[in-house]
């Protein structure tokens, strides 16, 4: 079983839709949760960063962490064609192993004009 | 500009040749990482470094060598390139401490080994 599971998609939505991207994980020791956006032929760009459980909002983006269910989500409101990219979840924070990051395989999102 | 830069952006080489990928960061981050990204495997850690002169293996270190003589540079060398090392390579860095558990990535080097 992978440490982090993420549906690869692709996910295709019309412009203006609300997008929900999700990851599940198996290691209850994770404390830090990140979402990265990766455009084609570019490096991953940090989008959202959350410590422990709860919600964090930044503009059209909301990140949710539910540690009891080992489930994290990224919501994109009023999606735009410029949001078309691959979204990677990542997590870290194992005791004595802070430098190890676990990545999902990425969900490819296509927002149609 | 501050940030993390990788060079070259694209590289084509032949099997058996030595290749060095460069990574430079201007944030004075303690930690630096090398990942490779392949379809079906996602991001896999090759090597990482906690500080100058301190390096450690990641998940897939075989065939790679790293060094870190200066905090800002972390080159990755393929000693004798093989076709299985055809991939996109990303360098990343992060600061020290629990408040800095965020990786920042470079733009990547696309390497083709023929």
* Selected residue with higher pLDDT from B97 and B15: B15
B102–A46: do the CB atoms touch at under 8 Å?
yes
Q: How many residues does chain A have?
A: 113
Q: Which is nearest to A3 in space by CA: A102, A111, A113, A105?
A: A102
Tell me what pLDDT residue A97 has. Answer: 64
Smallest Cα distance from B5 to chain A, Å: 11
Residue B104 sits at the chain A interface (C-beta within 8 Å)? yes
Cα B48 to the center of its chain, rounded Å: 8
A41–B31: do the CB atoms touch at under 8 Å?
no
Using alpha carbons, list the distances in angstroms from residue A67 to A54, A92, B73: 9, 13, 36
**Residue position matching structure tokens 């930690």:** B31
Give the ranges where B8-108 is alpha helix by DSSP (H): none
Q: Is the peptide bond before B85 cis (omega within 30 degrees of 0)?
A: no
State which H helix or E strand residue A51 sits in.
strand A45-51
Answer whether residue B62 shows pLDDT above 70.
yes
Contacts of B27 (CB under 8 A, 6+ apart): B2, B3, B4, B93, B95, B104
Answer whether residue A98 shows pLDDT above 70.
no
Tell me what pLDDT residue B55 has. Answer: 94
A45–B110: do the CB atoms touch at under 8 Å?
no
Q: Yes or no: say if B87 and B108 are a contact pair by the CB < 8 Å rule.
A: no
**Which of A45, A98, A99, A105 should one mutate to test binding to chain B, selecting the residue with the greatest count of B CBs within 10 A?**
A99
> Once rounded to an integer, what is the mean pLDDT over residues A85-101?
82
Q: Which is nearest to A81 in space by CA: A15, A11, A12?
A: A15
Answer whether residue B1 shows pLDDT above 70.
no
Residue A86 sits at the chain B interface (C-beta within 8 Å)? no
A98–B98: do the CB atoms touch at under 8 Å?
yes
pLDDT tens column, A28-61: 888 899 999 999 989 999 999 998 888 999 999 9
B108–A105: do the CB atoms touch at under 8 Å?
no
Tell me what pLDDT residue A8 has. Answer: 85
A42–B45: do the CB atoms touch at under 8 Å?
no
Closest-CA residue of A relative to B90 is: A43
Contacts of B8 (CB under 8 A, 6+ apart): B21, B22, B109
> Once rounded to an integer, what is the mean pLDDT over residues B79-102?
89
Report chain A's mean pLDDT, rounded to a whole number. 92
């Amino acid at each position: 079983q992978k440490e982090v599971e993420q549906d690869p998609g692709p996910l295709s939505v019309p412009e203006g839709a609300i997008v929900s991207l999700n990851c599940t994980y198996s290691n209850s020791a994770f404390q830090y949760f990140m979402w990265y956006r990766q455009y084609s032929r570019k490096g991953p760009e940090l989008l959202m960063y959350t410590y422990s459980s709860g919600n964090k909002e930044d503009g059209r983006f909301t990140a949710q962490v539910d540690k009891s269910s080992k489930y994290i989500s990224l919501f994109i409101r009023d999606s735009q064609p410029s949001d078309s990219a691959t979204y990677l979840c990542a997590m870290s924070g194992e005791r004595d192993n802070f430098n190890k990051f676990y990545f999902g395989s990425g969900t490819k999102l296509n927002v149609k004009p | 500009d501050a940030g993390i830069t990788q060079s070259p952006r694209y590289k084509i080489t032949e099997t058996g040749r030595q290749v060095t990928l460069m990574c430079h960061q201007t944030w004075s981050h303690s930690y630096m990482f090398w990942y490779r990204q392949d379809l079906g495997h996602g991001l896999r850690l090759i090597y990482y470094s906690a500080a100058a002169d301190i390096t450690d293996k990641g998940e897939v270190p075989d065939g790679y060598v790293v060094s870190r003589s200066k905090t800002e540079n972390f080159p990755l060398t393929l000693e004798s390139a093989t076709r299985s090392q055809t991939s996109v390579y990303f360098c990343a860095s992060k600061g020290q401490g629990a408040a800095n558990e965020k990786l920042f990535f470079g733009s990547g080097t696309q390497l083709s080994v023929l």
